[in-house]
Amino acid sequence: MAPSFTKGGKCNGHGVNFAFTWGLVGFLTFLSALISFTDSVTDKHGDTYYGLATCDGFLLFDKDKEQEYSSPSSPDDGSDVMSRKIWWEDIKRKKKLRPQDYVNALIRAAVFMALAFCDAGVQDCLVPKESRQWRDFLAILPLAVGFLASFVFIIFPSNRKGIGAEGDSVVDLDAAKSHGINPKDKSEKP
């Protein structure tokens, strides 16, 4: 889309192309950061659900399923309603936002911006009169951001699965209790 929006880097005098190019880069930067907050979870039946981590917990995109898990008045399908509610509260607690999610979002956004400015058309459109220092800056920007991102992602790896990936395999609480296993004793992954 960038070649169409930038007119091959010749968007001088075309305010619409200039605005659309900034809008495109800004929107895609926002989306790349937002992906840091998405996650997936798999219930004991093997169904995977996707959602967004929030400060209060985990918000499923499928509202009906979230209400079923959190409501004690949901219809009973043969499984224990309380164990389903305990499982959902445990998932919400484990999947809530953490400081490393914000760090990962910031670094992902920086990587996207660095890659977006690698495109000559985007450079020519957004910064038509560049100085020598600006060209030098743009030449080393991808290397610097890539090094920083590698360093940060090694120190603060993301535990989020994102949209499209299988969720964490979950323990069937009823089966675990019948085998004498307390699921709450399991330590969380770092």
Q: How far apart are CA 183 and CA 175, in angstroms?
A: 10
Q: Which residues contact 3 (CB under 8 A, 6 or more apart)?
A: 121
Q: What is the mean pLDDT of the chain?
A: 76
Question: Is residue 106 very low, low, confident or very high in pLDDT (cuts 50, 70, 90)?
Answer: very high
**Token digits of residue 89:** 């509260």
Strand-pair category, 57-60 with 48-54: antiparallel
Place of tokens 């290397």: 143
pTM exceeding 0.85: no
pLDDT at 190: 42
Question: Is residue 73 very low, low, confident or very high in pLDDT (cuts 50, 70, 90)?
Answer: very low
pLDDT at 149: 93
Give per-residue pLDDT as tens, 136-153: 888 899 999 999 999 988
**Order of strands across the sheet with 38-42?**
38-42, 48-54, 57-60
Question: Is residue 81 very low, low, confident or very high in pLDDT (cuts 50, 70, 90)?
Answer: low
**Token digits of residue 171:** 């323990």
Question: Is residue 66 very low, low, confident or very high in pLDDT (cuts 50, 70, 90)?
Answer: low
Domain spans of the chain, in order of start: 2-34+99-155, 37-98+161-176
**Token digits of residue 35:** 């992906």
Say if residue 171's pLDDT is above 90.
Answer: no
Say if residue 184's pLDDT is above 70.
Answer: no
